[in-house]
Amino acid sequence: IARSSAKMAVPLAPLVLLLALGRPALSGAQATEGAAAAPHRRFEYKYSFKGPHLVQADGTVPFWVHTGNAIPSADQIRITTSLKSQKGSVWTKTKSIFEYWEVEVTFRVTGRGRIGADGLAIWFTEEQGLEGPVFGAADEWNGVGIFFDSFDNDGKKNNPGVIVVGNNGKLQYDHQNDGSTQALASCQRDFRNKPYPVRVKITYYQKTLTVLINNGFTPDKEDYEFCAKVEDMVLPSQGYFGISAATGGLADDHDVLSFLTFQLMEPGKEAVSL
């Protein structure tokens, strides 16, 4: 069940910030009225990785940098192992210069316990958030984070969940409330210990960000469900893609099998050459 916006109890300053960053999508006929033509899509290999030959002989991932406890292998990148207090991330080495984009990410979050921690984040930011307190990456980012939050910090029984948080570089993430006071959109999904890898498709096109999820119950690569949408979202014109994860007192393995990036072009427009 998707929640459409941050709660009304948001303090004034963060509320102004969130309104500037984007607004939740309208529902029903309002959301589809005047829908734009489908964009053209081009695969961008310099902003992507996948197995079975993910790493080079020296242990690096082509066009990406990994930090912290992240461990690349032939088939995946283990962002964190299931040990306490781990942090890791992987980031593109260069900024993208295309206006609109789509990423398809395949991952597994697995742990022995019924409850895991802390979670995983997918990023598009003006600077690389190589390490920090927000799911293993830097706070006060300029851009957007899509957070797969495993642990229920605020005790509201709405985790595991997925939230979209925008930032202009000045907002500190509200861990204690699981970001609920800052979420532009969210949905409740259990992404831990699934029979198949979880797939996420994040699209940013004509200032609208959409998140679709395959919940890991089927191997069908196109079996997506709607999670969240934010309209009127202004992101940096150039930025880095990244994925990070962290563990706390509880711990999960956070494994990323693939990160595929596509440039989206409006019909009639040429692709940006990189």
Residue 155 has pLDDT above 70, yes or no: no
What local confidence, expressed as pLDDT, does residue 150 receive? 80
Counting beta carbons within 10 angstroms of the beta carbon of residue 261, is it exposed (0 to 12), middle (13 to 18) or buried (19 or more)?
Answer: buried
Region at 179 (left for phi over 0; alpha for psi -120 to 50; beta for the rest): left
Q: Which CATH number fits domain 2-23+39-265: 2.60.120.200, 3.40.50.720, 3.40.50.970, 2.60.120.560?
A: 2.60.120.200
Per-residue pLDDT at 220: 85
Q: Which range has the top average pLDDT, 201-210, 243-252, 265-274?
A: 201-210
On the 0-12 / 13-18 / 19+ scale of CB atoms within 10 A, 217 is exposed
pLDDT grade, residue 177 (50/70/90)?
confident
Q: What is the residue extent of each domain of the chain?
A: 2-23+39-265
The DSSP 8-state label assigned to residue 74 in this structure reads S
Does position 273 have pLDDT exceeding 90, yes or no? no
Sole residue written with tokens 């699209």: 203
- What sections of 99-153 are H helices per DSSP? none
